[in-house]
Chain A
Amino acid sequence: MLAFRLALRNLLGAGLRTWLNVIVLSFSFIIIIWTKGLLEGWDRQARNDMISWEVGGGQYWHSEYDPYDPFTLTDSHGQVPAGLEAGVTDGSLVPLLITQGSVYPRGMMHAVLIKGIPPQQKVIELPTAYLEAGEGDVCAIIGEAMAESTGLKEGDYVTVRWRDRNGTFDATEVKIAAVFKTTVPTVDVGQIWLPLDKLQEMMLMPGEATLLIRGPEAGPPPVADPWVFRDQDFLLSDIETIIKAKGSVGLIIWGILLMMAMLAVFDTQVLSIFRRQKEIGTYVALGMTKSQVVGLFTLEGAMNSVLAAIVGALYGIPLLLVQAVKGIKIPLSSSDFGIAMAERLYPVYSLWLIGGTVAIVLLVTTAVSYWPSRRIAKMSPTEALRGRVQ
């Protein structure tokens, strides 16, 4: 208690020097919490959006289907297994047929994935109802990124070319019924969505699908051998890998910030011990043991982070709260970034994040304060009193 009282008195008495350290440290606190909260919010938003727009409650894949190998698309289709037909009928499973093809907007060829989906599906957020709107036309929907890269817009007609199951090239004109906005690039970039029955007809694959998407609230997945069930964790593993990689970059930034703050504390401690030699000698002369003086100086250094947490809370809580409620506008679109990213990210600040950050900074500050303070234990008090310790 005495050491705490003296440390606080010395710190506050040091005035500007203390407050400069405290402000630098508080910036570190806030920026660490902010960046971590932003990544946490992004992670949560990306997971939710991926589930809503693409992953659903998991997917059944045709045994040959490999999304990373386009050559498998030719063979990765088949009749829906008998055990899953009921789900397709009641709408809890959405069949998708996927094939490669090309579109020719304004005479330019663009390689695309053509995806067939039932227009009446309710499992994912894709606005497939637009696929029913055509009167004699084959309707298609595309995402904003696709529209931007091809120059297509709602109401345009575009030629689509594909190879049917016999390998024969065929083409037709489709009408862009809607351009949808999404944060999930994997349902947008390089893709055109058609009604499932129309694509099955075009491909000469009636009743066939490449994969089936389950509703998020569906129960335990029935076995549908030889189709393979892929759960949410499997389907979201890519995005989690990317976010973890971005998290590592974030970790480096926090490390640099923390190091800068610790450098300020370390520098102050080294300077203090050199500059306050007479004070150290006087403490010993007045009856403190050297270990008590080491403890006092360590506590002074560590209390920088306690004060920083208080100061940081004063301006940080309102700042972070506003951002958590109003979100942060991201200047890049999801297609630029390659993974699901909303135009506005809402950081998530958990108690664990805030408490953990404060604890880590406090521990590191204490260690950094103790390191130079050990020198006091080696000082001769008589030399310290004369200010002669080098």
Chain B
Amino acid sequence: MEDGKVISIEGLKKHFPMGSGRFTALNGIDLAFGEGEFTGIIGPSGSGKTTLLNIIGTLDNPSEGRAVILGHSVSELTPAESASLRKTQLGFIFQTYNLFQVHTVYENVEFPLLLQGIANNRRRQMVLDALEWVGLTDKINSRPAQLSGGESQRVAIARAMVKRPAVVLADEPTANLDAANSHNILQTMEKLNRELKTTFLFATHDEKVIGYVRRKIWLADGMVARDELIEKN
């Protein structure tokens, strides 16, 4: 890792073809994130938040510049290597939860561990621990359709955290939740961040999220408009 940073980004640009021309979603981003950060990437729709998160999550490649995640340059990773990085080191939380509807809560949380081939007994303990972190041990046999929005997002958090990733990327995690549930899941994530030293990056424009993060990075037109560190006790 470069200078102890889990993520370092230099001169990052991302263009998408649009009609006969192209749309520039990211236009020269330079950022670095250390271990245990709890950071919000803030900006209106189209500012490039999700694109930045996708590149950090190795789901997309930069058009120009360099993004190094946990010591791996995103553009140099093979598909198998990037899949392996996502499988072991990166956790994702989505706005629409993206739970597997035909699986139970337990099976949803178990999924990343199945991919890693973790043994049955250890896997079970890890799943139960993750569900305990998010307070859903009483729902292990429920299916996503039987859960509220807040419960679904807590399952998604458990699924992202169960493998103890170094980085969790949360794209608008509270956008579909009411205020009470938003605070609840943000407190859960903040607690996990403190206890497990996991780096959390949020793409958001939700004031509730902004109120929790310790670093705020404003994006505008694909560029960093402001990068602010908040001192909290």
Residues on A facing B (Cβ under 8 Å): 2, 5-6, 9-10, 12-14, 278-279, 281-282, 284-290, 292, 380-382, 385
Contacts and interface: CB of A to CB of B under 8 A. Distances in A.
Given A287-B116, A289-B80, 7 more contacts: A9-B103, A9-B107, A279-B100, A282-B94, A289-B83, A380-B60, A382-B60
Contacts of B84: 287
B19 interface: no
B88 A281 contact: no
A286 B103 contact: no
21 contacts: A2-B117, A5-B114, A13-B103, A278-B98, A279-B98, A282-B94, A285-B98, A286-B86, A286-B87, A286-B92, A286-B159, A287-B83, A287-B84, A287-B86, A287-B87, A287-B88, A287-B112, A287-B116, A380-B60, A385-B59, A385-B94
B75 interface: no
A2 B114 contact: yes
B102 A288 contact: no
A5 B120 CA distance: 14
Nearest to B79: A289
A132 to B, nearest CB: 78
A14 B102 contact: yes
Interface of B: 50, 54, 57, 59-60, 79-80, 83-84, 86-88, 92, 94, 96, 98, 100-103, 107, 111-112, 114-117, 159
Contacts of B100: 10, 279, 282
Given A281-B98, A282-B100, A286-B86, A382 B80 contact: no
A59 to B, nearest CB: 67
Contacts of B59: 284-285, 381-382, 385
Nearest to B88: A287
Most buried by A among B96, B101, B102, B114: B102
Contacts of A382: 50, 54, 59-60
Nearest to B80: A289
A365 to B, nearest CB: 20
Contacts of B79: 289-290
Contacts, number: 65
Nearest to A286: B112
Binding site secondary structure of chain B: helix
B96 A278 contact: yes
Contacts of B50: 382
Nearest to B171: A385
A214 B71 CA distance: 89
A284 B103 CA distance: 17
Nearest to A386: B50
B232 to A, nearest CB: 30
A284 B115 CA distance: 11
Contacts of B112: 286-287
Given A10-B102, A13-B102, A382-B60, A285 B92 contact: yes
Contacts of A10: 100, 102
Given A284-B59, A290-B79, A13 B101 contact: yes
Contacts of A282: 92, 94, 98, 100
B94 to A, nearest CB: 7
Contacts of A5: 114
Contacts of B159: 286
Contacts of B60: 380-382
Nearest to B92: A285
A5 B50 CA distance: 32
A11 to B, nearest CB: 9
B104 to A, nearest CB: 9
A14 to B, nearest CB: 6
Contacts of A279: 98, 100
Contact of A284 (B83, B88, B101, B107): B83
Contacts of B102: 9-10, 12-14
A288 B115 contact: yes
Nearest to B114: A2
A264 B94 CA distance: 33
Nearest to A11: B102
A381 to B, nearest CB: 5
A290 to B, nearest CB: 7
Contacts of A284: 59, 83, 86
Most buried by B among A10, A13, A380: A13
A288 B94 CA distance: 17
A12 B143 CA distance: 14
A338 B59 CA distance: 69
Nearest to A5: B114
A381 B60 CA distance: 8
Nearest to B159: A286
Nearest to B60: A382
Nearest to B94: A385
A380 to B, nearest CB: 8
A342 B54 CA distance: 72
A107 to B, nearest CB: 80
Contacts of B88: 287
A79 to B, nearest CB: 84
A319 to B, nearest CB: 32
Most buried by B among A14, A282, A287, A380: A287
